[in-house]
Amino acid sequence: MYKVFIDTNILVYAADTSEPSKQAKSRGKIRDLSLNRNGVVSTQVLQEFYVTGVKKLGLDPINAKSIVHGLRNFETVTVDVALIEEAIDCSVLNRLSFWDALIIVSAEKAKCEVLWTEDLNRGQVIRGVKVVNPFLEGEEKVHEALVGSKGYRA
């Protein structure tokens, strides 16, 4: 089964009531990944979600913690020193921010084929991970084509 790495912004939209369309789409996608058991996050994503949820969205810290807890059934990549060093290399070689590079190398470490994010150029493949913006029209077809070409099923 293919695996999908979820960037922080997807989780933030799932909790953001100011963007109802993106909230509904994010929640549906997260639910599908949970049911299919092919979603992946990292400790970085969980930390960023908590801080953004509390500081920018005004979530109660206990509610934000509850959302983080609900992501326990997702595979979680632990950021360690070796991964940070990989991210530095990826950042320099691909001219990415360190934080975006850390997302990429975390997705690579988990053997994800897809990264759902708004922060990178859609269609771009970095270190074997294809960037997909799940909010853009037509991205469903891009994702389905990738999945179909690999012979995977969600």
**Total structural domains in the chain?**
1
The pLDDT mean for the chain works out to 90
Range of the domain at 115: 4-149
Question: Among the listed ranges 2-6, 34-38, 126-130, 135-139, which one has the minimum average pLDDT value?
Answer: 135-139
Neighbouring-strand partners of residue 83: none
**119 pLDDT higher than 80:** yes
pLDDT-based confidence at residue 136 (cuts at 50, 70, 90): confident
Domain CATH number, residue 83: 3.40.50.1010
Tell me what percent of the residues of the chain surpass a pLDDT of 90: 83
pLDDT-based confidence at residue 2 (cuts at 50, 70, 90): confident
pTM (predicted TM-score): 0.87
Domain-embedded: residue 74: yes
Domain-embedded: residue 154: no
**149 pLDDT higher than 70:** no
Domain-embedded: residue 76: yes
110 and 100 Cβ atoms separated by less than 8 Å: no
pLDDT given for residue 147 in this prediction: 46
Which ranges in the chain belong to alpha helices (H)?
Answer: 8-15, 20-36, 43-55, 61-70, 81-94, 98-109, 139-150
63 three-class SS:
helix
Instruction: Summarize pLDDT for 31-74 with one digit per residue, the tens.
Output: 999 999 999 999 999 999 999 999 999 999 999 999 999 999 99
Q: How far is CA 10 from CA 16, 45, 146, in A?
A: 10, 10, 20
